[in-house]
Amino acid sequence: MSDAAQHERFVTEADELIFLIEEVPRRLRRMFTVSMAAFDMTTPQWRALSYIMRTPGLNQTMLARQLDLERASVGHIVDQLEAAGLAERRAAGGDRRVWTLHPLPKAIEILPSVRKAADRLYLELLRNVPLEDIDQMRSTLSRMVANISGLDPD
What pTM did the predictor assign?
Answer: 0.76
Look at residue 152 in the predicted model and tell me its pLDDT: 67
Look at residue 8 in the predicted model and tell me its pLDDT: 63
Pick the closest to residue 108 from 37, 54, 36 (CA basis). 54
Residue 77 lies in a domain: yes
Residue 52 lies in a domain: yes
Look at residue 150 in the predicted model and tell me its pLDDT: 79
Residue 20 lies in a domain: yes
Look at residue 36 in the predicted model and tell me its pLDDT: 87
Look at residue 66 in the predicted model and tell me its pLDDT: 92
Rounded to 10 deg, the angle between the 60-67 and 43-54 helix axes is 120
Structural domain containing residue 18: 3-123
Q: Which residues does the chain have with pLDDT short of 50?
A: none
Look at residue 43 in the predicted model and tell me its pLDDT: 86
Give the list of residues 6+ apart from residue 24 with CB closer than 8 angstroms, or none.
125
Output the domain CATH number for residue 73. 1.10.10.10
